Amino acid sequence: MRTALSEVAALAGRRLMHLRSAPGRLVGMTFNSLITILAVGYLFAGSIKVPGGGSYQEYLMAGAAAQIGLAGIAPTAIGVSVDLQRGLTDRFRSLPITRGSVLVGHSLGDLVVGLVALVVVSVVAALAGWRVHTGLLPVLGGFALLAMFIYVMIWIGVLLGMTLRNVESIDSLGGIVVIVFSFLSNAFLSTETLPPWIRPFAEWNPVSSVTNACRRLWGNPMITDSGFPGRNPVVVVVVSFVLLLIVGTVLSFRRYRVAAAA
């Protein structure tokens, strides 16, 4: 166990070392969220009204923070894909390390980057007018949900990188994921404003659930949608996170074993 943990720590550190020479990964994970907070939340807050009252900056923060997880999919996938193309799997195969530690270390290294991005976005949001209105534990609970969401999305990125080996395709798909899952959710507006045919997708979108759960935990304005996900966001968040994490890890490890045996 101790050996496996040291392997994971070393591989996570290797991933973080790359951040010093290529900080664009951190910039990419924060860019969309900062634009959302500053351009949408700060500049246009006066023209957007939250049903039931409340500050739009406070309404927007949870959705902007959730974008960090979506924006982290492509960088993780590209990192995994590039490592495979450079023959990293072949070099690790000759070393006495646990196969699973490679992907786990990769994911934990990217999680640290995601948490740094979350801190940056939170500070900027606070400067732009975001406030919390609950106790310490609920506030920490909201950030814990966001950290879990970021980690789950990282594993989706690992799976994507193991599946698609073309960096350009991964980059394009990553941009589409950020746009689609952000706008087809309650990150910016209530899902009730969407056309009826697309509303079920938006309501069951994990972004909507984690956003609603964080708003509730932080005491920020929230619009309770009529469907089950809107009334029970925490339940949907936990179930969807568990399912996505199982799918992401199991399929990623399976594909990695195939690549390592080739």
Residue 223's alpha-carbon distances to 114, 115, 188, 203, 217, in angstroms, are: 27, 27, 11, 12, 14
Q: What is the pTM of this model?
A: 0.91
Query: Quick check: 232 pLDDT over 60?
Result: yes
pLDDT, tens digit (0-9, with 9 covering 90-100), for 31-87: 889 998 888 877 777 777 776 777 888 899 999 999 999 999 998 998 888 877 776
pLDDT, tens digit (0-9, with 9 covering 90-100), for 118-168: 999 999 999 988 999 999 999 999 999 999 999 999 999 999 998 887 888
Q: What is the per-residue pLDDT for 3?
A: 63
Q: Smallest Cα–Cα separation from 51: which of 201, 238, 222, 231?
A: 222
How much is the mean pLDDT over the chain? 85
Are the C-beta atoms of residues 73 and 50 closer than 8 Å to each other?
no
| CA separation for the pair 100, 108 (Å, rounded) | 12
Residue 92: band (very low, low, confident or very high) from pLDDT cuts 50, 70, 90 = low
Residue 238's alpha-carbon distances to 75, 101, 146, 235, in angstroms, are: 25, 25, 12, 5
Query: Quick check: 247 pLDDT over 90?
Result: yes
Q: What is the per-residue pLDDT for 17?
A: 76
